[in-house]
Each structure stands twice: as C-alpha cells, then as structure tokens.
Structure 1
C-alpha cells in the first residue's frame, strides 16, 4: 500500500492564501455595509434600534417638524480641509444673543433632524442654532461615513466660521446625538476655539473600533479580530481614518471643556457602559445623566422635562 505524503508547505500556503482572500472579500463587504455612503438595509428591523411608541410618535409626527419647516434657515457652506463641500443650516435667535449651539446628528441622519433639540434651544433658551450635515450625509459631499473622526475637524472649522460670522465674543455649545455625540467628544481632545464653553453628548460611543466589535458580535456572531482590523485598514486607505484612532475615549482624557453625558439605561445599540467609561475618564468637569428604560437616542422623549432641566442647569453654569 502506497503511503500518502502531505506537502505541509504547500498546504500552509494554500490555507494562507484562502485566509487572505476571505479577509480581502470580507473587508470590502463590511466597508460597503457600514462605511460607504448609501442606504443601509441591514439596520432595517434591527431590534436594537426599536424605540417606544411615544418616541416614534414624536420622531415622526412631532410639532418640531412643522417648526423646522416654518423656519427661514440660512444655508451655509464650508470647504473641508480635504476639499469636500459641506453644508449646514443657521437660524438666528429671535432676540440678539452671543450664544450659539451647534447640533450634530447621528449616523444616516441629516442636519434638520436635530430640530428636535433645536426648537428648544431656539425658542426656550434663546440661542442661535446651527445644524450641519456631516460629510456623507444630507447635502454635504463625501462618499463615506466618518463616524465622527474626520467630522471632528469639520466641526472645528464650522465653529471658527461661526465665530467669524457672529463675533469673537460668541459663546459656543456643542450638542451631539449618537455619531454626533462621538463627533463632539472626538473634537473635545483637539485645540478648540476658546469660544467653545460646553459639550452635551447624548448616546455616544467610546471608539469606532469598540462600537463595531460589539455590533459584529451582536449582528453577525463574529469576533472582531482579524476581520475588523482588515476592514479598518481598508477604511484607512479609502476614507483616511482607521477604527482604532477614531477614539472619543482618548480625546476626553485630555479635554478642557465641561461635558454633560446623557444615555438611556436600556440602550442595546450603543451600550450604556460606553458612556460610563467616557464619564470616568473625562479630564474636565463632567456630569452623567442616565434615563431609565430609554433605548438608543430616545432619552429626550422619555424624560423630556428632566432632560431640559439638566440642559438648563449645565449650560447656565458654563455659558453666562
């Protein structure tokens, strides 16, 4: 009987080649799935994004929608540092003020959706409001989603443009939701214009890598390594950033701006523990407001009165 000889070297090369091909295909698949601009069907009917009937009613039929549609926003444009044409909407306060809030929206959203918060800032707090479309969203250019990292520099440039428009004595607040919350936190670690006085981060994630690792396991039952790392490498090539460098946690460890963190205690899309970690590691003055039974992004709806009280108190202490 002839003895079968196994060429281990060839077998290892074959396994390595197959592994590499799988990584390349998988990286392009997940880049197309999450990073490339376009509709994201995988989020439809996602149980982690289900909200209460009360929240859905306000999101879809709230009076804030009619309010947004009734306003005469000034459309502003900005060329990003890497040459993208960005768009945003400015609305002056009813009475002259030196206060302005920049409201940053979430993943797959658009600027005017932040009118849910803008209505309160404008009508009740008397702020000028500005709502930018993040790169890759709304009317802003870009063929990928930045998940807050390149957007942090866009935010700083928008801030400087608004200060130039409104005056050097302008007092600026940042208020972000989900990806927008990560954006304002990532910006907080940079050398911000001195006019930025306060930051509100509603439902943020600590880093893009950590968020994707959690979602890969939850949606696809896959470990983060090595597929997430190879997708991160592809994203670095095609979009200019890697998942590990896109970290709000690293930013808040060196921030000087006071931060109010808000998160729903029943958030299963971006776990509440991520905001708790951010809060614990924040170098500046920080507060944490947790809303019982609230899922991702619905804290304002389920605890509206308390939410507004927290905002009033926090902004009153840091913005005269």
Structure 2
C-alpha cells in the first residue's frame, strides 16, 4: 500500500472517530437533557433545607439540599432525581419526608444546573457515591429514593455501597425507554439495571404509577421479578410519571418503618391496584 493511501486511511479513521465522538456527545445531551442555571428554589411548606456541597472522587464540587434528621432520628434518605429534572424541584416534592423528622439529602449531578462536568453513566454513579458518603458521615442508616433515571442510579449505587434500603419510582429496566431511539446506538451508557440487581442485596420497594405512559409499569414488574433481594412492588392508581408525593409519600415512609421493624410483610399501599411482596432468595 502506498504511503499516500495509508495517510488517507488514517485521516478517514480519525474523521470517523471524531464524528462518532461528536454524535455520542450529542446523544448524551439528548438522553440526559440537563437543565442549566442555578438550582430553583421551590415554595417551602416547612423548614428550609441547608445548601450543601460534596466533592466527587474526580474532583467535581456538586450542590445539594439537606434537611438534618430531627425528633431523635438518625436515618437519612438520599434522593436521586430523574432526567430533565433538578435538585430544587425534587426538593419541593420530597420536603414531605423531612416534615416527619427524617433526614433528607437531595443530590444533584454533574452537568446539571450550575454543576461542573458533563453527565455520563459512570459520572452520575460517582456523583451518587459522593452524596452517599456525605449522608453516611451524618446518619446511622442511609436509604435511597430514586425517580426514573434516579432509580437506575440508585440500583447502581446499591451494587457498590451498603444501603439500608432502596425505593424506586417509575424506573426503567433498560435504557431504551428513557433514551431517544438513536441514543442506544450512539452512546456507551447502558444503565443495565437488570444486571446490576444481581449484585444488590438491599431490600427494594419498586413503585410505579398505573397511569405512567412514559415508562410503563411493566419495567418495574420486570425489575421486581429479577431481584433476589427482599422486595415489594406497588402499582399506584392516580400516579403518572411525575412524582405525586401526596400519594406515594406514605408508602415510602411506610417501607422505611417496615424495614426497621421487620414488618415488610404487612406493608400497606393506599391506592395500589397491585401490591406484591417476596422474600430474599438464595443467591
């Protein structure tokens, strides 16, 4: 092969690599669609949270919102929001949890709002681990609640850290439901929650809205069937994809209380059209 041909092939390869890299960046932007600007401040119905910052292992400083435990409680619920969402809006939803005296820490991700960096699967998991370390240093037990994409992050976190329990809402079992149709082909992020569940031993409550037409309830059903952990599944009438904490907050706090008292077999789910439970299985 002539030297000119070798040079041309090398240039072609570099061009294709650049195009692929650019497409991957674009696809990631479409997948995560991170909101920009400072964290929005919702209307607080009770005490305002403290603005806190954590530092990831790769040196990024991320902003969060934190209610310290009260009423003698030492537990903290780490909250992971979904795509196209932000820590401020999620804090507005979950402030009901803080009103019961529980500690609540609302995380944010790299590339979201004014945070540095760009979102990737590995990056979001690293971000969750940084907030987990913050919570672990301040509470005895850390529970995690994740909405949509945040539920996938929660499962990945549980595969790496020791949690007291997990709650997911409207979480997908594969990337295809959350990504635009082309993103699966262009980006390396996979969010294989089914695979990660094989490394999760923490008890899990899967919540899904019966009226969710964005991520169908079949995804939570599949996650529930797959896990070998102590688990419960609640399909709630009147809930769509967006968190409806008026309906799901009693279920979340009920699950945490049931885990502490060992009474998950008596868990009650108001407005549930389907409630299923299963014990942990032998791995």
TM-score range, shorter chain: 0.7 to 0.9
Q: Deviations over 1:4-61 (max 9, x none)?
A: xxxxxxxxxxxxx9xx79x84765653443357567xxxxxxxxxxxxxxxxxxxxxx
> Using a 3 Å threshold, how does the CA distance of structure 1 residues 102 and 150 change in structure 2: closer, same or farther?
same
In the alignment, structure 1 residue 172 sits paired with structure 2 residue 142: yes
Which structure shows the bigger proportion of residues in helix conformation? 1
CA apart distance, 1:299: 4.5
Is 1:201 aligned to 2:146, yes or no?
A: no
Does residue 145 of structure 1 match 2:115? Answer: no
Task: Give the equivalent residue in structure 1 for 2:189.
Answer: 243
Do residues 107 (structure 1) and 83 (structure 2) align? yes
Distance 1:36 1:200, change over 3 A: closer
Shift of 1:149: 4.4
Q: Is the 8 A contact 1:189 1:250 kept in 2?
A: no
Q: Can you list the C-alpha shifts for 1:196-220, whole angstroms capped at 9, x where unaligned?
A: 21111011112335532xx42xxxx
Aligned-CA RMSD value = 3.0
Shift of 1:298: 4.1
Task: Answer yes or no: is 1:318 the counterpart of 2:259.
Answer: yes
C-alpha distance in structure 2 between counterparts of 1:35 and 1:121, whole Å: 26
Q: How many residues align?
A: 243
- Aligned match of 2:43 in 62, 66, 71? 66
CA contact (8 A) 1:264 1:299 kept: no
Say whether the 8 Å CA contact 2:209–2:238 is kept in structure 1.
Answer: yes
How does the TM-score come out when normalised to structure 2?
A: 0.74
Question: Where do 1:176-195 residues align within 5 Å?
Answer: 176-190=146-160, 192-193=161-162
**Partners of 1:115 and 1:275 in 2: how far apart?**
24
Query: Residues 100 and 27 of structure 1: is their aligned pair in 2 closer, same or farther, counting only changes over 3 Å?
Result: closer
The CA deviation at 1:188 is: 1.7
Cα distance in 1 between the residues matched to 2:252 and 2:225: 20
Q: Does 1:157 align with 2:157?
A: no
The residue number in structure 2 matching 1:5 is none
TM-score, length-normalised on structure 1? 0.66
